[in-house]
């Protein structure tokens, strides 16, 4: 596949900026049903105004540009503005933060394979990408979902999702937007860490094979994977050190060195777990990629509770959010000292 040089350069530049040292991505691209679920947990009805107020609170938090390189937005949010009328994309850009956009249309049942899903959204994607670019987006995200279970995942499911991820990535680069390729092996289930490692490796190998076959240049993408962990209902719990070392071992086997960065999702881990795992991984610097974050829940869970839908809680919620950003920034250097959270541990 041939891309215009300027588009490739634009992607490379943004991909490296997104994984700049000490920085990572805020995933604030919850779809309407997902944000409704999050708001329900704090007793708030998910109206358009509330979604806008919540995201404005996040995006205007002082100092986050020191640790947040980019924010993934949902279609609605890319078109919304602050209370004073500044569009969110230009607000973010003015703070040195790159705006991104979730472009998939969600995971739908995979025909003929009960319990499995495939992500949709390729139809009309080229036109949507053009519009998103004109609205200020610099990068995109597409999430594929792989479930571990009895006889799952099937090769059929992995292949269908990998194929769609690669088609999306090629279209995104063509539009000058860095694709964040997200194959998420779900944490839900009774599986051991070993099983998670096998399925994650199998999935990543397939995804990189499709990216290769569809001519996607790996310097222009970021990978957003799950960490390698025990399933939530597995009685044998892997330690934090095992999660960090198994994740790195798995990725060294399956992720080409040309990829600028691996930006982990948190996928149902607690805020602390996700940060500590990232921190431990970054103590091992002997890897070819930046190891960073693109957290949704692990950056927002305590902030959402502190906000609780009330304007008067805004400053408190912002303080909580700034602290989560700060500790994840430290984890990018392997310097988060969780036993002494105020200290910036040196190597
Ligand atoms: P979590 O960190 O909550 O898994 O969200 C990241 C994300 O963007 C999922 O697509």
Chain segment 310-347, per-residue pLDDT in tens = 999 999 999 999 999 999 999 999 999 988 866 665 54
C-alpha pair distances (Å), 83 with each of 7, 49, 98, 136, 330: 34, 10, 21, 19, 32
Better-scored residue on pLDDT, 317 or 7: 317
Reading the block at residue 17, the tokens are 């900026």
pLDDT band at 68 (very low <50, low <70, confident <90, very high): very high
Closest approach atom of ligand 1 to CA 266:
2
- How remote is the C-alpha of 122 from its chain's centroid? 20
Within 13 Å, how many C-alpha atoms sit on residue 157's CB side? 27
Average pLDDT over residues 107-129: 98
pLDDT band at 284 (very low <50, low <70, confident <90, very high): confident
Distance 141 CA to ligand 1 centre (A): 11
Reading the block at residue 147, the tokens are 């479930």
Query: Which residue's CA is the nearest one to ligand 1's atom 4?
Result: 267
Query: Which residue's CA is the nearest one to ligand 1's atom 8?
Result: 27
Q: What are the residues whose beta carbons fall under 8 Å from the beta carbon of 194, sequence distance 6 or more?
A: 246
Cβ of 265 closer than 6 Å to ligand 1, yes or no, is yes
Residue 346: the pLDDT is 52
Reading the block at residue 119, the tokens are 């992500």
Q: In residues, how long is the chain?
A: 347
Average pLDDT over residues 9-13: 94
Average pLDDT over residues 99-112: 98
Reading the block at residue 224, the tokens are 């957003």
Centre a 10 Å sphere on the Cβ of residue 229 and count the other Cβ atoms it contains.
Answer: 28
Reading the block at residue 20, the tokens are 């700049």
C-alpha pair distances (Å), 44 with each of 62, 64, 78: 25, 25, 22
Q: What percent of the chain has pLDDT over 70?
A: 96
Cβ of 266 closer than 6 Å to ligand 1, yes or no, is yes
- Round to whole Å and give the CA distance between 80 and 43: 23
Query: Which residue's CA is the nearest one to ligand 1's atom 10?
Result: 143
Distance 70 CA to ligand 1 centre (A): 14
Q: What are the residues whose beta carbons fall under 8 Å from the beta carbon of 225, sequence distance 6 or more?
A: 182, 183, 184, 185, 200, 204, 251, 262, 264, 265
Whether 7 shows a pLDDT value over 80: the answer reads: no
- Round to whole Å and give the CA distance between 92 and 98: 6
Residue 8: the pLDDT is 60
pLDDT band at 121 (very low <50, low <70, confident <90, very high): very high
pLDDT in tens, 209-242: 999 999 999 999 999 999 999 999 999 999 999 9
Residue 342: the pLDDT is 66
Return the active site residues. Answer: 182, 224
Distance 30 CA to ligand 1 centre (A): 8
C-alpha pair distances (Å), 85 with each of 30, 88, 94, 96: 22, 9, 14, 19
Cβ of 298 closer than 6 Å to ligand 1, yes or no, is yes
- Round to whole Å and give the CA distance between 145 and 158: 9
Cβ of 296 closer than 6 Å to ligand 1, yes or no, is yes
Distance 304 CA to ligand 1 centre (A): 15
- Round to whole Å and give the CA distance between 50 and 48: 6
Average pLDDT over residues 252-279: 98
Cβ of 24 closer than 6 Å to ligand 1, yes or no, is no
pLDDT band at 2 (very low <50, low <70, confident <90, very high): low
Query: Which residue's CA is the nearest one to ligand 1's atom 5?
Result: 296
Within 13 Å, how many C-alpha atoms sit on residue 278's CB side? 34
Distance 5 CA to ligand 1 centre (A): 31
pLDDT in tens, 133-184: 999 999 999 999 999 999 999 999 999 999 999 999 999 999 999 999 999 9
Q: Which residue has the tokens 């912002």?
A: 318
Q: What percent of the chain has pLDDT over 90?
A: 94
Q: Which of 2-11, 28-37, 138-147, 312-321 has the lowest mean pLDDT?
A: 2-11
Residue 336: the pLDDT is 97
Closest approach atom of ligand 1 to CA 182:
10
Q: Which residue has the tokens 């490379």?
A: 12
Reading the block at residue 58, the tokens are 């996040």
Sign of the alpha-carbon dihedral angle for 81, 32, 264, 276: positive
Residue 152: the pLDDT is 98
């Amino acid at each position: 596949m041939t891309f215009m040089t300027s588009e490739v350069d634009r992607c490379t530049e943004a991909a490296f900026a997104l994984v700049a040292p000490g920085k990572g991505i805020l995933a604030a691209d919850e779809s309407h049903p997902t944000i409704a679920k999050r708001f329900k947990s704090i007793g708030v009805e998910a109206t358009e105004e509330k979604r806008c107020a919540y995201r404005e609170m996040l995006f205007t938090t002082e100092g986050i540009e020191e640790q947040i390189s980019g924010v993934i937005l949902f279609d609605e949010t890319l078109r919304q503005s602050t209370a004073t009328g500044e569009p969110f994309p230009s607000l973010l850009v003015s703070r040195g933060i790159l705006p991104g956009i979730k472009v998939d249309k969600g995971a739908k049942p995979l025909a003929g394979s009960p319990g499995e899903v495939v992500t949709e959204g390729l139809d009309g994607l080229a036109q949507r990408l053009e519009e998103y670019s004109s609205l200020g987006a610099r990068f995109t995200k597409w999430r594929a979902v792989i479930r571990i279970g009895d006889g799952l995942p099937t090769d059929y499911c992995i292949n269908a999702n990998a194929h769609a991820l690669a088609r999306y990535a090629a279209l995104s680069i063509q539009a000058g937007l860095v694709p964040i390729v997200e194959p998420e092996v779900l944490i839900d289930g009774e599986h051991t860490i070993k099983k998670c490692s096998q399925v994650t490796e199998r999935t990543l190998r397939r995804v990189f094979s499709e990216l290769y076959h569809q001519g996607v240049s790996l310097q222009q993408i970021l990978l957003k994977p799950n960490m390698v962990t025990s399933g939530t209902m597995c009685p044998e719990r892997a330690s934090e050190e095992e999660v960090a070392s198994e994740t790195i071992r798995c990725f060294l086997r399956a992720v080409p060195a040309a990829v600028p960065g691996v930006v982990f999702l948190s996928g149902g881990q607690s805020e602390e777990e996700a940060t500590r795992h990232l921190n431990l991984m970054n103590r091992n610097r002997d890897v070819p990629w930046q190891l960073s974050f693109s957290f949704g829940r692990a950056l927002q869970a305590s902030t959402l509770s502190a906000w609780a839908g009330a304007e008067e809680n805004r400053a408190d919620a912002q303080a909580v959010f700034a602290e989560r950003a700060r500790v994840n920034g430290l984890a990018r250097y392997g310097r988060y000292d969780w036993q002494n959270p105020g200290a910036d541990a040196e190597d």
